[in-house]
Amino acid sequence: MSLPAHDARRRSRTLLAVAVGLLIAASSVGVAFVLSPHSAPAAVASCLRSDSQVADPTAPHGEFVLAPPIHPHDAYYADVQATLLHNPVVCGADFWVPWNSVDAGPTSHAEYNFTSTDAAAATWVAAGKEVNLIFQMVGTSANQEYVPSTLLSEVPTIQCGDSAVTPVAWNATFESAYRAFMAATVHHYGTIPGIGYLRFGFGVAGDSNPVQDINAPGCQNQLNAVGFTLTVWKGYLTSMLAYERSLNSSFQLMVALTPVYPDQGDNVTPAVATAAAGYGIGIGNEGLRANDSADIDANGIGCGGYGWCKEFSKFAGVVPLELQTVSATSPNGTGPVGSLVPLLPFALTQHTQIFEIYLEDWLTAFDPNYPAYPMYHSAYAQALAQTALVVGTSAG
């Protein structure tokens, strides 16, 4: 039996009030959120359960803190515990995990040790949050070595500009070692509660690019010398995705879409997205920036319809879609990334349901001790809360 119109409106207002109350409670200083009844859902979903408002309802969804501090002596550790750990807008945390922080190499007595990563995750899981792990194959700068040292000495490498020493990832010895690491990781976390998804980097960091400083002088010659071509790289990436699928993971796996030559265009991104979606592996992009939202094509697809935006449009509802800005945002709207405020609603129009949000942006919204808080916290908290009404809160 349907409700009378006035009762239905009263119920809608009540549910909206509950949602607003939950989100206001997220801030220890009582940020006043102004939410429109016309844009708010009838009820706020939990990001720990199915959410009919996102494109892939049963897959992971929500807003997550990217790389929160894990040691009491780390900057803003206490602030995170006070303002984010129990904040219902926060669905959980994403941790970057360098490969060699877990894998000591095949000659070690105990090759794999997940103790430190498990401990970092446990704090958030105990608070009722979800944890996602991003495994980084290669560091992003010359002083970051993430490959187990014993393996690095056994495979061919290149080193371009400020890049880390980078292994030839499609080398058979290297592939075998990384596949063994992936298998051990999927097996380990199959028994650990509170894990939402895993993302394995297939190149630099948690992404899928072959070398960090690819435009450095002489880098192209080095790549050519070790047999790099787009065809070789595409074959390597798609074969790694096929191997991931063979692991029969009990939880969601993800992969980053990273064009090798974004200014020239290549067929790697669509090939990776198609292969991943076919295997049920979610796809994401770690380079969201202001120009993406400014460049909407005739079909309403961002980025002019190119790159990750086009693949998001193609595979929305097939697998979960994830976004991370290329760096922490600029609350004053400057720089290539710009402000988080317009980026979040734009990302929702592109069917994004997983948001990996830099710690600095969360602190801007909710931490009174953070420098950007006094001027920008209201706008940032509002943007995060509005997005949570779609992708879910940890309170539901």
In DSSP notation, 76-87 reads: THHHHHHHTTT-
Percent residues over pLDDT 70 in the chain? 88
Retrieve residue 92's tokens: 């959980």
pLDDT of residue 69: 97
Retrieve residue 372's tokens: 């950007």
Return d(Cα 252, Cα 134) in angstroms, integer.
12
Q: Is the pLDDT of residue 88 over 50?
A: yes
**Residue 42's pLDDT band (boundaries 50, 70, 90)?**
low
Q: What is the pLDDT of residues 343-395, one digit of tens each?
A: 999 999 999 999 999 999 999 999 999 999 999 999 999 999 999 999 999 98
DSSP 204: B
In what helix (H) or strand (E) does residue 5 lie, and over which residues does it extend? helix 5-25
Q: How far is CA 334 from CA 188, 304, 342, 384, in A?
A: 43, 21, 12, 19
pLDDT of residue 192: 87
Retrieve residue 254's tokens: 């993800």
Q: Which residue has the tokens 């969360």?
A: 362
Q: What's the farthest any 2 CA atoms get from each other in the chain?
A: 74
Q: What is the pLDDT of residues 58-75, one digit of tens each?
A: 999 999 999 999 999 999
Q: Is the pLDDT of residue 106 over 90?
A: no
CATH architecture of the domain covering 5-391 = Alpha-Beta Barrel (3.20)
Residues with Cβ within 8 Å of 391's Cβ and at least 6 positions away in sequence, in order, are: 45, 47, 51, 53, 54, 61, 62, 63, 91, 348, 353, 354, 355
Burial 368-394 (b: 16+ CB within 10 A, else e): eebebbeebbbebbbbbbbbbbbbbbb
**Residue 141's pLDDT band (boundaries 50, 70, 90)?**
confident
**Residue 264's pLDDT band (boundaries 50, 70, 90)?**
low
pLDDT of residue 389: 96
Q: Is the pLDDT of residue 317 over 80?
A: yes
pLDDT of residue 142: 86
Return d(Cα 335, Cα 324) in angstroms, integer.
16
Q: Is the pLDDT of residue 26 over 60?
A: no
pLDDT of residue 27: 44
pLDDT of residue 263: 65
Return d(Cα 391, Cα 355) in angstroms, integer.
9
Is the Cβ–Cβ distance between 281 and 319 less than 8 Å? yes
Is the Cβ–Cβ distance between 132 and 199 less than 8 Å? yes
Write down the pTM of the prediction.
Answer: 0.90
The size of the chain, in residues, is 396
Return d(Cα 8, Cα 11) in angstroms, integer.
5
pLDDT of residue 262: 67
**Residue 24's pLDDT band (boundaries 50, 70, 90)?**
very low
